[in-house]
Amino acid sequence: MNQHTEREIYHSNVPPGATSMKAVYILYLIGVFLSAGLLTLLGVLIAFINKDTYRQTSLMMDHYRYAIRSFWYSILWTILGVVLVFTVIGALLGWLLMLFSWVWFVYRSIKGLCYLLDGRRLYF
């Protein structure tokens, strides 16, 4: 009788590309909290490099697309917030928009990591 440990079963079900995708999400989270976004740049670079490699796996393609879109939308909202900060009318709105962008990016990174660890696809 062949008995498998829980760890062996998990590792046999890990899709190709899941390890690098975990690294992307972890770099996103560390980058937001500790490196003023520099590690986030490394995370999106890894995602861009690997996204074509795992195109045949729809699960991983969803995660790579999700991570890359999260990065670019966060950058867009942050830049818009910075521009608004320097206007008299939108100063408060600019700070709120930058805060929203930060919270939204952290939320999407955590959500993506949780879905990846559960082996679930992301619908966006």
Please state, as a whole number, how many other Cβ atoms lie within 10 Å of the Cβ of residue 32: 19
Q: In the prediction, which pLDDT does 96 show? A: 94
Is residue 100 assigned to a domain? yes
Q: In the prediction, which pLDDT does 121 show? A: 86
Q: In the prediction, which pLDDT does 13 show? A: 61
31-55 mean pLDDT: 88
Instruction: Please say whether the beta carbons of 11 and 98 come within 8 A.
Output: no
Is residue 58 assigned to a domain? yes
* pLDDT over threshold 50, residue 54: yes
Amino acid code (one letter) for 56: Q
Summarize pLDDT for 4-31 with one digit per residue, the tens: 444 444 444 667 778 889 999 999 999 9
Longest dimension (CA), the chain: 74
The one-character DSSP state at 87 is S
Is residue 2 assigned to a domain? no
Is residue 98 assigned to a domain? yes
46-69 mean pLDDT: 86
Instruction: Please say whether the beta carbons of 71 and 40 come within 8 A.
Output: yes
Distance CA 94, CA 122 (A): 30
Assigned token pair, 16? 């190709």
Is residue 47 assigned to a domain? yes
Is residue 65 assigned to a domain? yes
Is residue 19 assigned to a domain? yes
The boundaries of the domain holding residue 69 are 15-118
Summarize pLDDT for 64-121 with one digit per residue, the tens: 999 999 999 999 999 999 999 998 778 889 999 999 999 999 999 999 999 999 888 8
Q: In the prediction, which pLDDT does 124 show? A: 65
Q: Long-range CB contacts (< 8 A, 24+ apart) of 6-10? A: none
Could you give the residue ranges of the DSSP H alpha helices within the chain? 6-12, 18-33, 38-51, 58-85, 91-118
Is residue 10 assigned to a domain? no
When mean pLDDT is compared over 26-40, 42-56, 68-82, the highest value belongs to: 68-82
Q: How many domains does the chain have?
A: 1
Half-sphere exposure at residue 76, Cβ-oriented, CA atoms within 13 angstroms: 7
| pTM of the shown model | 0.82
Q: In the prediction, which pLDDT does 119 show? A: 86
Distance CA 13, CA 105 (A): 28
